[in-house]
Amino acid sequence: MDCLFLAARGCLEATDPKEKCRLTHAAWHALRSGRAGIEPDAPPPGPIGMPGRPARPRLVPPSAVPARGLGTAEGRAALVHAIAHIELNAIDLAWDAVYRFRGLPEEYYLDWARCADDEARHFAMLDARLGELGHRYGDFDAHNGLWEMAEQTADDLIARMALVPRVLEARGLDVTPGMIARLEAAGDRRTAAILRVILREEVAHVAAGTRWFRWCCARDGREPVATFFELLRSRMRGTPRGPFNLPARREAGFAEAELIGLGMPVD
């Protein structure tokens, strides 16, 4: 039987995005079919570092990534590129959640391997759309904020589950409906349709973060709502700002006390 942790590491180390996606799909299918499993004697995880990446895009500070309007094909391509970059990072975040944290229930590894498979499919859809818009992945600058949070939470599963899926990825639930509306207003129904698929499936990914965050809190005897806000205060620069997608956040498992604490206008 193949070792899931070694497969996860192989996906993390792949530098070509298409190869990363191919390896991801293969690893997920191997796990689902029983050809890959959790090896208790697998080597421990190595120190966290940058996953495999192509030579481009150039990584710059978030403030240096220019905002582009959606009224032009170039602006729409830049938006698709930015989301594709997020999805590529999300593949690595899901595999790092598998590779780095050991001794957890089998369902944990199934959840995050399934998420990696979804993210690889999302990246492929966006990469194909970039081609239709006359560009390719790497043509625009990008930033490394998502992976930096993985590095900051490498030693703490509770923090990883709280801050990556439930803060950074949950932000996508909030902003994607507005992007869809703007794209449709600009006549780009093709990109809007892709974002609808991604939005629908990302709810389940945030829900996986909620599930395992609460599992960790129960295991460690910690109160989930208080722990969530303690982590926001100690590890983030502040709480998210609106607009908020309350239905999607509720579907992803956010408690009413969390929504109120985040400043959301709960009915």
Q: Which residues contact 37 (CB under 8 A, 6 or more apart)?
A: 1, 2, 3, 4, 31
The confidence score (pLDDT) of residue 267 equals: 66
Name the percent of the chain lying above pLDDT 90. Answer: 85
Contact 28, 113 (CB under 8 A): yes
Check pLDDT > 80 for residue 266. no
The helix/strand count (H/E) of the chain reads as 11, 2
The confidence score (pLDDT) of residue 175 equals: 95
Q: How far is CA 6 from CA 9, 12, 191, in A?
A: 5, 10, 35
Angle between helices 170-185 and 189-220 (to 10 degrees): 170
Distance CA 206, CA 162 (A): 10
Check pLDDT > 80 for residue 108. yes
Name the percent of the chain lying above pLDDT 70. Answer: 99
The confidence score (pLDDT) of residue 95 equals: 98
Check pLDDT > 80 for residue 238. no
What are the sequence ranges of the domains in the chain? 2-261
The confidence score (pLDDT) of residue 237 equals: 75
The confidence score (pLDDT) of residue 144 equals: 92
pLDDT one-digit tens code per residue, 7-64: 999 999 999 999 999 999 999 999 999 999 888 888 899 899 999 999 999 999 988 8
| Omega before 105 within 30 of 0, i.e. cis | no
Structure tokens at 161: 């589950």
Confidence of residue 263 (pLDDT cuts 50, 70, 90): confident
**In terms of pLDDT, which residue wins out, 121 or 71?**
121
* Assigned CATH class of 2-261: mainly alpha
Q: Residue 70 CB: number of other CB atoms within 10 A?
A: 18
| Omega before 45 within 30 of 0, i.e. cis | no
CA 25 to chain centre: 16
Distance CA 46, CA 3 (A): 15
Distance CA 61, CA 75 (A): 19
